[in-house]
Amino acid sequence: MYRVVLIDDESIIVEGLRKVVPWAEYGCEVAGTAGNAAAGAALIRELRPHILFTDIRMPGQDGLAMLAGLRSEFPDMQVSVLTGYRDFSYAQQAIRLGVTRFLLKPSKMDEITEALQTMTARLDKLAPEEGPEDQPPPASSFIVNQAMSYIEKNYAGKLTLQTVAEHCYVSQWHLSKLLNRYAEKNFYDILNAVRIQKAKELLADPRLKIGQISEMVGYADTAHFARTFRKLVGMSANEFRNSL
């Protein structure tokens, strides 16, 4: 039996799908449901479903980021989107990220069953093949770009790999793997590079003390900042300031 997870913030839709769709006829069973993206992502990591039906326009959630994260971390999982968001460019992006079907609410039963038939057929085809399907590049690239953008905006705070991974709806392990593969650096190397670049820009202002700049770019320990700056720039912060 193929495991199915349903994610939607409208509980009536989740219950309707769970009860009305003849899952067993397609060799499927609903393994779990969730009412938001974060709970859904956690449920998917726990159950590792074969099929996902999800909305991607839930309050307070970045639907495309969630979708990219799930498609990147679980490349063989088949995904169909059920949404009331009627935007063609948004649908195109979702499809590029590997969605099987993009269905507008209210969806007709024949549309849902056609999507289910297509997804189970793809899973049947994957079953005889050796090894998992390769990572879908659009989804993985999307996640890396999301992570880099988040680091650029939040470098001054207490940023951790877990914080960024949660923002991108992927596990820490998966985000670390993506950053090493596509950015060719680990998380802390990327974070330090961003912080030191910002520090170099701030050093152009003679009114700012080195200790102030250290705190402004996210280093609570000035000595740590000094070591990192010298390692990445090849000179001390003071030497760099005097060279400007």
Domain 2-126 CATH (choose: 3.40.50.2300, 3.40.1190.20, 3.40.50.720, 3.40.47.10): 3.40.50.2300
pLDDT one-digit tens code per residue, 199-216: 999 999 999 999 999 999
pLDDT one-digit tens code per residue, 69-82: 888 889 899 999 98
Rounded to 5 degrees, φ, ψ at 93 are -60, -40
137-243: which CATH topology?
Arc Repressor Mutant, subunit A (1.10.10)
CA 160 to CA 66: how far, in whole Å?
A: 19
Residues in Cβ contact with 173 at an 8 Å cutoff, skipping those fewer than 6 apart = none
**Does this model's pTM top 0.85?**
no
Domain boundaries, the chain: 2-126, 137-243
One DSSP character per residue, 61-116 reads: --HHHHHHHHHHHSTT-EEEEEES---HHHHHHHHHTT-SEEEESSPPHHHHHHHH
pLDDT one-digit tens code per residue, 95-124: 888 899 988 888 889 999 999 999 999 999
pLDDT at residue 134 is higher than 70: no
The answer to whether the 2-126 and 137-243 domains have the same CATH topology is: no
